[in-house]
């Protein structure tokens, strides 16, 4: 492996350890918002796609990414925002979905079985069934609120174990 490839590979490993500030059970890589890492003559560029254009955590994520790469000796680094194609919950990795489940947050259902990193038309689909309880796996759940601790999650309750839980909304 050449030096550039090794540096980029090391950067991806570092990004595995940068938690999302709003859903710290996931890294920014698990969440799928890191689109690319590019080597330039003046340092690394990390391309990020925010979960939505008004995400209040975007600046904190960019700062955390640069700090982590600097602390790992991979700086200088900078971030670039790429808003198109728009982020979708289909970009959450399988490991990220498992981490959400383990943290008691029902992961979003996939909206596209083979997500693409290219522009896709928005498709409005019929209402999906309620998520299964991440604690007891019961399908008998009800939505308590359209919003949980963050705008990207909704609050649900299991009708069997009676435990409340959050569901990461699919978009």
Task: Give backbone dihedrals phi and psi of 135, rounded to 5 degrees, phi first.
Answer: -95, -50
Query: Residue 119 — very low, low, confident or very high, per pLDDT cuts 50/70/90?
Result: low
Answer whether 57's CB lies under 8 Å from 20's CB.
yes
Domain parsing of the chain, residue ranges: 3-81, 121-168
pLDDT at 112 over 80: no
* Fold assignment, 3-81: GMP Synthetase; Chain A, domain 3 (3.30.300)
pLDDT at 123 over 60: no
The pLDDT of 58-71, averaged and rounded, is 96
Answer whether 51's CB lies under 8 Å from 31's CB.
yes
List, in order, residues 6 or more apart from 151 with CB less than 8 Å away. Answer: 52
Task: Give the tens place of pLDDT for each residue, 17-38.
Answer: 999 998 999 999 999 999 999 9
Picking from 45-49, 106-110, 120-124, which range would have the lowest pLDDT averaged per residue? 120-124
pTM of the entire predicted model: 0.79
Query: Residue 150 — very low, low, confident or very high, per pLDDT cuts 50/70/90?
Result: confident
Name the DSSP letter for residue 42.
T
CA dihedral sign, ordered 123, 124, 127, 132: positive
Answer whether 10's CB lies under 8 Å from 33's CB.
no
pLDDT at 81 over 60: yes
């Amino acid at each position: 492996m050449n030096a550039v490839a090794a540096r980029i590979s090391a950067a991806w490993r570092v990004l595995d350890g940068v938690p999302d500030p709003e859903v710290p059970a996931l890294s920014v890589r698990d969440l799928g918002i890191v689109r690319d890492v590019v080597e330039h003559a003046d340092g690394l560029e990390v391309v990020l796609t925010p979960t939505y254009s008004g995400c209040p955590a975007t600046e904190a994520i960019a700062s955390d990414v640069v700090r982590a790469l600097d602390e790992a000796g991979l700086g200088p680094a900078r971030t670039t925002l790429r808003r198109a194609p728009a982020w979708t919950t289909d970009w959450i990795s399988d490991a990220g979905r498992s981490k959400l489940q383990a943290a008691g947050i029902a992961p979003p259902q996939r909206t596209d079985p083979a997500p693409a990193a290219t522009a896709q038309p928005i498709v409005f689909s019929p209402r999906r069934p309620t998520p299964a309880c991440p604690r007891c796996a019961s399908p008998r759940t009800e939505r308590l609120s359209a919003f949980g601790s963050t705008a990207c999650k909704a609050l649900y309750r299991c009708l069997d174990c009676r435990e409340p839980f959050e569901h990461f909304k699919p978009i």
